[in-house]
Amino acid sequence: MVRLLFWIALIAAAFWLWRKFKAGSTASTSTPLDAPLKMVRCSHCGVHLPNDRALHRGNEWYCSTAHLEQGPSDKR
């Protein structure tokens, strides 16, 4: 009876180690996160937004077409 319990425990431990090793190797091959987006400030209202959603004219960034048309604010 002791031999049977020993073999069951040995097989369970081997199975547990195999699953742990397999889970660790799949986690390391996951795709890395994309690079963070650069945040820019609207030259008219001062709102910060990602540069892929912002509009720009020269060195100035804007959050909408209305602010792009109005230009930079004087009260910055």
Cα distance between the two ends of the chain: 83
Confidence of residue 35 (pLDDT cuts 50, 70, 90): confident
* 40 CB burial (10 A radius; 0-12, 13-18, 19+): buried
Give the number of domains in the chain: 1
Across 1-9, average pLDDT: 92
In a domain, residue 56? The reply is: yes
In a domain, residue 57? The reply is: yes
Check residue 23 and give its pLDDT: 75
In a domain, residue 15? The reply is: no
User: Range of 65's domain?
Assistant: 39-70
User: Model-level pTM?
Assistant: 0.52
Provide the 10 A C-beta neighbour count for residue 46.
Answer: 11
In a domain, residue 30? The reply is: no
Question: 43 and 73 in contact (C-beta within 8 Å)?
Answer: yes
Rounded Cα distance between 71 and 58, Å, is 11
Inform me whether the pLDDT recorded for 40 exceeds 60: yes
Check residue 45 and give its pLDDT: 93
In a domain, residue 44? The reply is: yes
Q: What letter represents residue 56's amino acid?
A: H
